Amino acid sequence: MEEKINQAIKGALESAPKRKFVESLDIAFTIRDVDLKNPNNRIKEEIRLPSGRGRELKIAMFAAGEAATKAKAAGIHVITPQEIEDLGGNKGKAKKIANAFDFFLSEVPHMGLIGRYLGVVLGPRGKMPRPVPPTLDPAIIAAGLQSTVVIKSGDKMTFQISFGTASQTVDELYANAMEVYNRVISKLERGIGNIRSLHIKTTMGPSQMVEVIN
């Protein structure tokens, strides 16, 4: 599979039309013989990509005082506790905030308030904040998130995730793709036997099928 995935990445890059923006590379899995009605069988994995995501992620933190100062110093956008209720009363603005950032952090005391006012917006997007203990510098968490992706199947047999961008080298993309592939395979009862099909593509380019032989 290693060589097939490597060739699919090369094919995706070579066949992608020239764009005025840097496209992402996506890997899509279609699985079979898995009962996704059972939540225990659903895939949800946080994966640290060895070559990074190929772009700068936007991270926000619900914070005040010293934590807010540390967050700002680390380049993290700060949302004050006073803004939480205001955002909860303005769903349109809350959605814009939710879509503008890849990850959210929060001081522990604000988690309940966030769940109450913003859970309906952040929850479905898989963007509920990660709690930051007072002893931990948010910069450390943010640095780790810069190379993190979350792949999840939900109740769908086909699911995908971006594993880099066209600005990265083939070797970097290959390392990332294999990290994602191996993690997904490890969560399936029959491994590759539960994979019906596998495709790799750029954001707007043609899909490259990776032959799966069980």
Domain parsing of the chain, residue ranges: 2-54+148-210, 59-145
Nearest 5°: phi and psi at 27?
Answer: -120, 130
Q: What is the pLDDT of residue 214?
A: 61
Instruction: From 183, 187, 188, select the one nearest 163 (Cα to Cα).
Output: 183
Nearest 5°: phi and psi at 198?
Answer: -145, 130
Question: Which residues make beta-bridge pairs with 48?
Answer: 148
What three-state secondary structure class fits 146? coil
d(CA 128, CA 58): 15
CATH for 59-145 is 3.40.50.790
Residues 6+ apart with CB under 8 A from 32: 157, 194, 195, 196
CATH superfamily assigned to domain 2-54+148-210: Ribosomal protein L1/L10, rRNA-binding domain (3.30.190.20)
Q: What is the pLDDT of residue 194?
A: 95
Topology match between the domains 2-54+148-210 and 59-145: no
Is this model's pTM higher than 0.85 or not? no
Q: Which helix (H) or strand (E) holds 158?
A: strand 158-165
The per-residue pLDDT string of the chain (214 residues; one tens digit each, 9 = 90 and over) reads: 899 999 999 999 999 888 888 899 999 999 999 999 999 999 999 999 999 999 989 999 999 999 999 999 999 999 999 999 899 889 999 999 999 999 999 999 999 999 999 999 999 988 999 999 999 999 999 999 999 999 999 899 999 999 999 999 999 999 999 999 999 999 999 999 999 999 999 998 999 999 987 6
